[in-house]
Amino acid sequence: MKKILFYTNGIGLGGVERALLTFLEGLDKEKYDIKVAFQYKNENFFEKEIPRKIDYKYMLPLNIINKSLEYREKKRNFFYKILYSFMLSYERYIIKKNFLEFSKDRELLIDFKSGDFLKLLNLKKDIPKICWIHGDIINLHNYSKRKEKLKKMYMSCEKIISLGKIMKENIIKEMPEIKEKVEIVYNPFNIEKIRQESEKIDNLSDEEIKKINDEYIIMVARLELKEKDFFTLFKAYKIVLEKNKNLKLYILGDGSDREEISNKIRELDLEGKIILLGKKENPYPWIKNSQLLVHSSKSEGFGLVLVEALILKKIVISTDCPVGPREICDNGKYGVLVEIGDYKAMAREIENLLKNSSERKKELLNSSEEAIQKFGTKEVVQNLEKILDTL
């Protein structure tokens, strides 16, 4: 039995976390003894979904995190500035200590967060390592120092996991030295489970039931403006609203830019029309009951929610990020792609696909089953196990 350790930042509400959970569910527990090390405990939204046979531990306890945050808020005071500096050093010590103890019997280490933890994992020099890359690294040549640092870290790994063909091409283009290390492993999806979860509305409040029965389109994403392009979607939606007065736009997710996004909604005079739903433990009923899903982004690693929407037989419209959306939608075969930032084109596509008579809509609905075949848990996990068995 191969003893494996996955290392990632946390188990919050995001695509990386959901992908990890599906791998943990799908990997053969008779072949692999799996542990998971989480860096932080401050966000553990999906903790209860970790399979029972999986041993996991948080490297940095919550009480230490809270104490560091307390000192950081007061660090304008010289005394607390010193305490905060001490706490940062103490955090590093605790993380290192817990990692070395928790991983002492492991035979394979996996950084599941794009290399964020390879420096820590490399403390164990003689143990093979895998690094999962979740974001596109194209144009890294513009940042030579970061590129050299990443290349050095990736060279220390036996395998580098890419989420798709285009991402793999970009990795090799930026770092040809690691060409032989790069493998493609798609994010896995438990198709039947997602469809079953989409039917569960019994736990919804009366207010949520009312909202879910409204006419709406939806975007599911973290409220982070660095990568997600909410403002292009808002401008497109405002155009669509002129002919579709009752249509609402739901944004499902939360994040650090919630206030700025709320201010933009007020600025566009769209309060009551654009609804910030916040986090939902089960997003699938909201996707299933929508008219269509829009994914407005500036850059993507994979675009997991696009596959989830296709599993639920929903129309998807996405900005044409080369990595993720373009590959998932197969250059427009399975979903509509619009140029990043082009709100007028996005509005036209939304208007067209809201019409039941649209031939394009019928084509897309008929192709959704074909679109998801390569993302099933069984197929993806078998591919991963072949890689694990070579190390």
Residues 303, 330, single domain; the answer is yes
122 lies in the same domain as 200: no
Tokens 């050095």 correspond to 152
The domain that holds 77 is classified in CATH as: 3.40.50.2000
The total of structural domains in the chain comes to 2
From residue 350, give the alpha-carbon distance in Å to each of 220, 252, 306, 331. Answer: 16, 18, 16, 18
Name the residue range of residue 344's domain. Answer: 189-372
For 102, other C-beta atoms within 10 Å of its C-beta total 19
Residues 205 and 275 in one domain: yes
The reply to whether 216 and 352 lie within a common domain is yes
**263/382 same-domain check:** no
261 and 242, same structural domain?
yes
Please tell me whether residues 252 and 363 are part of one structural domain. Answer: yes
Domain shared by 1 and 110, yes or no: yes
How does pLDDT run along the chain (391 residues), one tens digit per residue?
999 999 998 887 677 888 999 999 999 999 999 999 999 876 666 788 899 999 999 999 888 988 888 889 888 888 889 999 999 999 999 999 999 999 999 999 999 998 889 999 999 999 999 999 988 776 665 667 877 888 889 999 999 999 999 899 989 998 999 999 999 999 999 999 999 999 999 989 999 999 999 999 999 999 999 889 999 999 999 999 999 999 999 999 999 999 999 999 999 999 999 999 998 989 999 999 999 999 999 887 788 999 999 999 999 999 998 788 999 999 999 999 999 999 999 999 999 999 877 788 888 988 989 999 999 999 999 999 999 999 9
Judge if 179 and 240 occupy the same domain. no
pTM, entire model: 0.86
Q: What contacts 107, CB < 8 A, 6 or more positions away?
A: 2, 3, 4, 127, 128
Beta bridge partners of 251: 219, 276
The verdict on 17 and 136 lying in the same domain is: yes
Q: Are residues 244 and 155 in the same domain?
A: no
335 and 318 in contact (C-beta within 8 Å)? yes
Which run of H or of E encompasses 60?
strand 55-60
Same domain, 150 and 57: yes
